Amino acid sequence: MFVVESYSLAVLFCIITMFCWGSWANTQKLVQGKWRFELFYWDYVIGIFVFSLLMALTMGSTGDSGRPFLEDIAQVDMVNIRNALFGGVIFNLANILLTAAIAGAGMAIAFPIGIGIALILGVLFNFLLASQGDAFLLFVGVLLVALAIVVNAMAYSKMTQSRGGTSVKWIVVSIVAGVLMSLFYPFVASGMDLNDFVSPAVGKMTPYTAVVVFASGIVLSNLVFNTYLIRRPLEGSPLKYSDYFSGKMNLHLVGVLGGSIWALGNLFNLIAAGKAGPAISYGLGQGATLVAALWGVLIWKEFKGGSSTVQRYIAMMFVFFVVGLGLIIVAGM
């Protein structure tokens, strides 16, 4: 299987993760108004599972390093399987709420608040799991990300006030999504031997096996979570599963593409964790907040027409994010 051997390559993989995790929601924006997010989300979940399995059977099963996927999954301890499945369940609940917030408030709001909170808490949790990197630089970087979240929320509040709307609902949904999102990664990472992907300890998983088990947890939990939202949506009228099966193929394929983009980032993030450490790997991956905010501001024009105060807040947000992510990178060198 393919294994990352250097810190610089691990950082590159984390940057790819950052772009994947920050860009998948563009696929939702592409079908918004044509396809409800609850229906889009099923295709997204299918994309995550199919892509993860495909990578496990290719990148995770060829070459001379490590155990191939089928051999590896056959020897994994059940407790590690359960942890990765549970990580998938937690992630799925968080991501459904995040997707709802994207649909309701936009990428430039939901991502900086939700994923920014996930970055802060996730880095702290993962640093406790495996203390790699300079703690001072790491936590100063996290503090700057926290400031970026605050000014982004202030910008959104100003925008909605000027338009006569309310910002509270989607800010709360984004916060809940962020707290939940911060919890899934340690469950997945705990099932892997982070010190040795080439010859992992017996009972532990390679990253390729971990992503498949994790994706299985997403699919299984989606039968519960998304079925509930289809019948009792956060916004709009209830749906039926017949609505999903009546959708056009191009709408389904866009959702599958979104899930595949996210799954590529997830795989690269876990592969990088062995060399960079889970705290830095997770923290850089969640720099997706910056990427998503750029998409929202520059491409989807989600702050178009904002006052000069709003524009200053957005500029401050980007500065805090860039410097904070830079410190997180340097912390692992």
pLDDT tens digits along 181-201: 989 988 998 999 888 888 889
| CA-wise closest residue to 190 among 282, 81, 56, 115 | 81
Answer yes or no: is pLDDT of 302 > 80. Answer: no
The answer to whether position 108 is within a domain reads yes
pLDDT at 235: 86
User: What pLDDT sits at residue 189?
Assistant: 87
Higher pLDDT among residues 234 and 165, named by residue: 234
pLDDT score of 251: 96
For residue 141, give Cα distances in angstroms to 42, 44, 177, 287: 35, 31, 21, 11
Domain total of the chain: 1
Question: Which is higher by pLDDT, 221 or 6?
Answer: 221
Tokens of 131: 């203390």
**Which of 23-27, 211-215, 289-293: highest mean pLDDT?**
211-215
For residue 28, pLDDT beyond 60:
yes
Q: How far is CA 29 from CA 77, 83, 108, in A?
A: 40, 32, 12
The confidence score (pLDDT) of residue 113 equals: 85
- pLDDT for the residue 301: 82
Average pLDDT, the chain: 89
Sign of CA dihedral 285, 170, 254, 87: positive
Q: Is residue 2 part of a domain?
A: no
Residue 1 located in a structural domain = no
Check if the beta carbon of residue 30 is closer than 8 Å to that of residue 254: yes
pLDDT of residue 139: 86
Domain annotation covers residue 179: yes
Domain of 115, in residue numbers? 7-331
Q: Please write the tens of the pLDDT for every residue from 200-216.
A: 899 999 999 999 999 99
Domain assignment of residue 168, yes or no: yes
Taking residues 278-290, report their average pLDDT: 77
- State CA 170 to chain mean position distance: 18
177 exposure class (CB count in 10 Å sphere: 0-12, 13-18, 19+): buried
Comparing CA positions, the residue from 331, 273, 290 lying closest to residue 108 is 290
Q: Is the pLDDT of residue 59 over 80?
A: yes
Beta carbons of 184 and 88 less than 8 angstroms apart: yes
To the nearest 10 degrees (0 to 180), the angle between helices 278-285 and 116-129 is 170
- CA pair distance 113, 115, nearest whole angstrom: 6
Residue with tokens 């024009």: 301
What DSSP state is assigned to residue 233? -
| Res. 163 pLDDT band, cuts 50 70 90 | low
Residues 6+ apart with CB under 8 A from 116: 145, 146, 148, 149, 152, 178, 286, 289
The percent of residues above 70 in pLDDT, for the chain, comes to: 96
Selected residue with higher pLDDT from 63 and 140: 140
Number of alpha carbons in the 13 Å side-chain half-sphere of residue 105: 33
Element (H, E) at 118: helix 116-129
pTM of the predicted model as reported, rounded to 2 decimal places: 0.86
Task: Report the DSSP beta bridge partners of residue 205.
Answer: 192
In a domain, residue 45? The reply is yes
Q: What is the mean pLDDT of the segment spanning 54-60?
A: 96
pLDDT value for 167: 61
pLDDT at 221 over 90: yes
* Residues 78-87: tens digit of each pLDDT: 999 999 999 9
Name the token pair of 243: 């609505």
Q: What are phi and psi of 31, to 5 degrees?
A: -105, 0
CB contact at 8 A, 83 and 90? no
Task: For residue 201, count other CB atoms closer than 10 A to its CB.
Answer: 11
Other Cβ atoms less than 10 A from the Cβ of 304: the count is 8
Of 225, 222, 332, give the one whose Cα is nearest residue 285: 332
